């Protein structure tokens, strides 16, 4: 009777775990739902390694249980001496050869995928006209935000990476201050960004991101880098090639022309913000080093999904952020602005101005200027 109750409890527990685990993994951020070839390869490797390890655990638990049940003192008697197997060649061969086979399988697939996923030999390939064959993005990690430079297109942006689907995108990864790690869970990674060397790898984005919950893939910093490490997020827009080309063209047109949606806002920006933030997406990375005080490029601010990488993309949140950056992102390098420095009215105007900085869905307005 008692046994039955326990069986019922186990079944209930298993059912509960199944339900809870079934909730794991949103497509925009789950390694378990890979949306690119690299992510799929990494997932396959994970499954092979996990299967081998689970097999070992399973076999050991079975043997252990048999030994525990069959060879109890109460069953075999106080004076029982088990069969002595010390020095048995057969047994020693068995428990040497089986692990060697398992580890060999692990080694072969791991080495294969390590070389496959680390192959950046085609990164700098050019066609007969001398044009680069592949898209290259230089990623610079900073406390606590991300800069994305498209060196061959002369475009730079921050916090939102825009990439075409269905082709290899090559990345040069570097850090400007401490070690961070570049990770787009659904697509692939992670790879450290170091100060002293450039790490390179590639990713492919097989699915457009506009069908996802927020229309973007989520990117994370995967190396503990300071008090706001957990807030060091970025987003990825994976779009078709044509949309990507349009985006690049729009970014290249942001040079020298800042959208004048609010003249007072632009004035405030010119007085208080422009020392650290650019509104033109044309140019190169603003470099590395402790002395570099440059903040994120804001050319696409109005298109973004989040404020400061993680706050909802709302004017109210922007205002809260500007008033007290430290409360929202401890240890970040942006100063807060008091009402003496920027009045409430000026801050409203500034928010209107920043939300008007767009390169997407704003083509008519732009061509009017």
Q: Which residues bind ligand CUA (CB under 6 A)?
A: 141, 144, 180, 221, 223-225, 229, 232
Q: How far is CA 13 from the centre of its chain?
A: 33
Q: Which is nearer to ligand CUA, 224 or 327 (CB)?
A: 224
β-strands 180-184, 217-221 pairing: antiparallel
Q: Which is nearer to ligand CUA, 232 or 238 (CB)?
A: 232
Asked if residue 190 has a cis previous peptide bond (ω within 30° of 0), the answer is: yes
Q: How far is CA 144 from the centre of its chain?
A: 14
What is the chain's Cα-based Rg?
A: 28
Handedness of CA 141, 147, 148, 154 (dihedral sign): negative
Report which of 286, 38, 52 is spatially closest to residue 183, judged by C-alpha positions: 38
Shortest approach of ligand CUA to residue 194 CB, angstroms? 12
Q: For residue 194, give both structure tokens.
A: 């170091």
Would you say 140 and 178 are in contact if contact means Cβ atoms under 8 Å apart? Answer: no
Shortest approach of ligand CUA to residue 163 CB, angstroms? 21
Shortest approach of ligand CUA to residue 141 CB, angstroms? 6
Shortest approach of ligand CUA to residue 322 CB, angstroms? 22
Q: Which is nearer to ligand CUA, 180 or 329 (CB)?
A: 180
Q: Which is nearer to ligand CUA, 117 or 221 (CB)?
A: 221
Number of C-beta neighbours around residue 298 at 10 A:
24
Q: Counting beta carbons within 10 angstroms of the beta carbon of residue 235, is it exposed (0 to 12), middle (13 to 18) or buried (19 or more)?
A: buried
Shortest approach of ligand CUA to residue 57 CB, angstroms? 32
DSSP alpha helices (H): ranges in the chain?
2-22, 37-70, 73-76, 89-117, 241-252, 263-272, 315-323, 325-328, 344-355, 363-368
Q: Which is nearer to ligand CUA, 40 or 179 (CB)?
A: 179
Shortest approach of ligand CUA to residue 213 CB, angstroms? 23
Shortest approach of ligand CUA to residue 237 CB, angstroms? 21
Residue 244 phi, psi dihedral angles, 5° rounding: -65, -45
Shortest approach of ligand CUA to residue 219 CB, angstroms? 11
Q: Please, what is the angle between helix 89-117 and helix 37-70, to 10°?
A: 160
Q: Which is nearer to ligand CUA, 117 or 232 (CB)?
A: 232
Q: Which is nearer to ligand CUA, 180 or 328 (CB)?
A: 180
Burial 135-156 (b: 16+ CB within 10 A, else e): bbbbbbbbbbbbbbbbeebebb
Shortest approach of ligand CUA to residue 212 CB, angstroms? 23
Q: Which is nearer to ligand CUA, 172 or 228 (CB)?
A: 228
């Amino acid at each position: 009777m008692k046994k039955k109750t326990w069986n019922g409890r186990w079944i209930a527990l298993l059912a509960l775990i199944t339900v809870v685990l079934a909730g794991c993994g949103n497509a925009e951020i789950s390694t378990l739902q890979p949306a690119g070839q690299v992510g799929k390869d990494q997932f396959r490797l994970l499954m092979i390694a996990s299967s081998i390890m689970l097999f070992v655990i399973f076999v050991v638990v079975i043997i252990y249980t048999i030994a525990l049940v069959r060879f109890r003192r109460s069953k075999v008697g106080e004076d029982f001496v088990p069969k002595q197997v010390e020095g048995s060649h057969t047994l020693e061969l068995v428990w040497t050869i089986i692990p060697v086979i398992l580890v060999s399988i692990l080694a072969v697939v791991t080495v294969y995928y390590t070389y496959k996923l680390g192959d950046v030999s085609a990164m700098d390939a050019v066609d007969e006209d001398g044009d680069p064959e592949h898209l290259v993005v230089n990623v610079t990690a900073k406390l606590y935000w991300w800069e994305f430079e498209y060196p061959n297109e002369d475009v730079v942006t921050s916090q939102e990476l825009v990439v075409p689907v269905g082709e290899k995108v090559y990345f040069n990864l570097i850090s400007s201050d401490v070690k961070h790690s570049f990770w787009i869970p659904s697509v692939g990674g992670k790879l450290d960004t170091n100060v002293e060397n450039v790490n390179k790898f590639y990713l492919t984005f097989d699915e457009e991101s506009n069908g996802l919950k927020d229309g973007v893939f989520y990117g994370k910093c995967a190396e503990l880098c300071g008090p706001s490490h957990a807030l060091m997020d970025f987003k990825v827009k994976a779009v078709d090639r044509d949309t990507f080309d349009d985006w690049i063209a729009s970014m290249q047109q942001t040079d020298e022309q800042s959208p004048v949606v609010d003249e007072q806002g632009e004035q405030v920006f010119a007085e208080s913000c422009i020392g650290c933030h650019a509104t033109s997406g044309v140019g190169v990375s603003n470099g590395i080093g402790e002395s570099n005080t440059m903040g994120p490029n804001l050319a696409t601010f109005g298109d973004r999904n989040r404020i400061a990488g993680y706050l909802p993309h709302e004017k109210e949140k922007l205002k809260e952020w500007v008033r007290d950056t430290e409360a929202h992102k401890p240890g970040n390098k942006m100063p807060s602005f008091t009402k003496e420095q920027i009045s409430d009215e000026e801050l409203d105007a500034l928010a209107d101005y920043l939300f008007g900085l767009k390169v997407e869905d704003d083509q008519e307005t732009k061509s009017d200027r």
